[in-house]
Amino acid sequence: MGERANIVAREEAMPERSVDIEQVIPLVDIYENEDEILLFADMPGVDKKEITINIDNGKLTLDGVRRMDSNGAVQWEEFGPAEYQRTFSVPQTIDVAKVSAEMQDGVLRLHLPKSEAAKPRQIEIKTA
């Protein structure tokens, strides 16, 4: 069997790809401490300019698009453009005005600070 026949046989065994952009649910890790909820979302290849973060009425939505530049004719493609999207319920106690985010090495790090009213506090007992 020639080299060309091997390539054709391997290509026929691969699942067919559509031209539509792939929808991906990013994997996340979520941590909580007294001051904030910290969310890490895995979004490889997404530029920070292509990410949208919305918090509205207790819903946090992450959207991002990975765009791939192609130079030349595609011979084989398994890692192409993708649209990341995930939605979470968040407590109303999040201080939306202080939410911050950073993107590094394909990981979105989202800080969701708690409002002062939501933070645990120690109550002093007074003697009568």
The total number of residues shown for the chain amounts to 128
Q: What is the pTM of this model?
A: 0.72
What's the gap between Cα 35 and its chain centre?
22
Taking CA atoms, 85 is separated from 61, 88, 97, 98, in Å, by: 7, 10, 22, 22
Low-confidence stretches of the chain (pLDDT beneath 70): 1-19, 118-120
Q: How high is the pLDDT of residue 105?
A: 94
Do 36 and 100 meet the contact criterion of CB atoms below 8 Å apart?
A: no
Q: How high is the pLDDT of residue 55?
A: 92
Q: How high is the pLDDT of residue 40?
A: 97
**Nearest Cα to 26, choosing from 6, 55, 56, 52?**
52
Q: Which CATH class is domain 15-69+76-114?
A: mainly beta
For 82, the token pair is: 């993708």
